[in-house]
Amino acid sequence: MLVKLVVGSLFLFLMQLVLKNVYYMGYHLHYNEHYPGKCEQVKGMSLGSEDFYTFNDGLTFITSGVAIQNNTFSQREYMVKHNIIGRMYLFDFNKNKAAAEELSIVGSNDGFNVKLFHPHGISGWIDKSGVKILFVVNHEENGADYIEKFEFIPTNRQLKHVKRYRDDTMLRVNDVQATSKDSFYFTNSGTGSGTVLTMIQLLGQLAWCTVVYFDGNDYRVVLDGMSMPNGIAMSNDGRYVYIATSMSREIVVTERKTNNDLIRKQVYPVYSNPDNIIVDSRTDNLYIGSHPIAYKLFQSMEIHKPSQVLMLKVKDGNITKTRELLYDDGDLLSGSSVAIVFNSKLLIGSILDKTVLCDVNVPL
């Protein structure tokens, strides 16, 4: 009798897990295409524009060539075929044209090798002298995850590498949010780079992940029990930190304490798989590049994946409503990962596909 009870309970548990994963994968979902205005491909770029950081003057720095270590859904063959390597680009909203330029990267002497560079998440800071500083997640080829610090040299259109950060708390780093010229938060979207552990976490939908804070000297976990945290961004006044949790399809709003601890304030469902978050510099509203149908994201890189851009209205740190600015089946843009509206233009990036600029002819 006891054996039957155990077997029955295990069967019900597994069935629940299977049904939960089928629902998560989105086999039942369908969307209608729509765009905020005319859209065109940004020229001067390779495939891939995983994340952006836009300063208040409209200069936008773009990471390209992400390659997560031991990725379960291998990207390597696709990247070799399309000559996708680690690059950094600059897009200027003030020029009002769909073109970007590749930035040269000047290495430092602390072990950073630009040939092994595969940038992912990015965040920026301006120091007291006005120098633009960038923190970039680097999945170093055949190596560990790092966060690299660069200074932008505008006269030469260069990024000067000045420092790299590495710690045992960097398990599977996804995104970074600067809080000063030498401190930041970062998200771990997994518990390590191992394929088996990644699959267990994904299929079991296990909330094993963390957000870590580095204060300039020490690293410490400030949030745990997270379901695959992806993008992270901070409100303009520094009071709130927003975290996209891809697996639970939510935005977690946290309040930032004086000691930089994060306290959950709101969990807001978006019914999509959010990737990166950008905070509007004027309104504090959030722009999200998202993956609306999960199973298509996990298919071959050669298969087009749907793209979705969401704008989340924010008031007093709380998200109040969602607006979908764009949905595309994958022909215009495959696998949208980040988006921002600036000067009535919508710039959209992708994991390993095109970068697109659209006119915004709809009220925001």
Angle (CA) 207-208-209 rounded to 5° is 100
**276 among the known binding-site residues?**
yes
Q: Catalytic residue among 118, 120, 161, 291, which?
A: 120
pLDDT tier at 4, thresholds 50, 70, 90:
low
The tens digit of pLDDT for each residue in 338-363 reads 999 999 999 999 999 999 999 999 88
Q: What pLDDT is stored for residue 135 in this prediction?
A: 98
Q: Quick check: 72 pLDDT over 50?
A: no
Helical residues (DSSP H) of the chain, grouped into ranges: 2-25, 76-81, 195-204, 294-297
Mean pLDDT along residues 101-114: 89
pTM: 0.93
Stretch among 75-89, 109-123, 175-189, 315-329 having the lowest mean pLDDT? 75-89
Q: What pLDDT is stored for residue 200 in this prediction?
A: 63
Mean pLDDT along residues 170-176: 95
pLDDT tier at 137, thresholds 50, 70, 90:
very high
In the β-sheet with 104-106, what is the strand arrangement from edge to edge? 104-106, 158-165, 145-153, 132-139, 119-126
If one compares 228 and 134, the residue with the highest pLDDT of the two is: 134
pLDDT tier at 21, thresholds 50, 70, 90:
low
Q: Quick check: 70 pLDDT over 70?
A: no
**50 among the known binding-site residues?**
yes
Tokens standing for residue 162: 């000045």
**230 among the known binding-site residues?**
yes
Integer Cα distance of 184 and 121 in angstroms: 12
The tens digit of pLDDT for each residue in 244-282 reads 999 899 999 999 999 999 999 999 999 999 999 999 999
Stretch among 12-26, 196-210, 227-241 having the lowest mean pLDDT? 12-26
Q: What pLDDT is stored for residue 51 in this prediction?
A: 98
**51 among the known binding-site residues?**
yes
In the β-sheet with 100-102, what is the strand arrangement from edge to edge? 51-54, 59-64, 87-92, 100-102
Q: What pLDDT is stored for residue 14 in this prediction?
A: 62
Mean pLDDT along residues 190-217: 75
If one compares 309 and 97, the residue with the highest pLDDT of the two is: 309
**147 among the known binding-site residues?**
no
- What mean pLDDT is reported for the chain? 90
Q: What pLDDT is stored for residue 60 in this prediction?
A: 98
Q: Do β-strands 173-180 and 145-153 pair in parallel, antiparallel, or remain unpaired?
A: unpaired
Q: Provide the 10 A C-beta neighbour count for residue 166.
A: 17
**122 among the known binding-site residues?**
yes
CB 287 within 8 A of CB 341: yes
Alpha carbons within 13 angstroms on the beta-carbon side of residue 77 total 5
Percentage of the chain exceeding pLDDT 70:
86
Percentage of the chain exceeding pLDDT 90:
73
Helices 2-25, 195-204: crossing angle, 10 deg rounding: 90
Q: What pLDDT is stored for residue 40 in this prediction?
A: 97
CB 139 within 8 A of CB 164: no
Q: What pLDDT is stored for residue 1 in this prediction?
A: 66
Element (H, E) at 255: strand 250-256
Q: Decide if 120 is catalytic.
A: yes
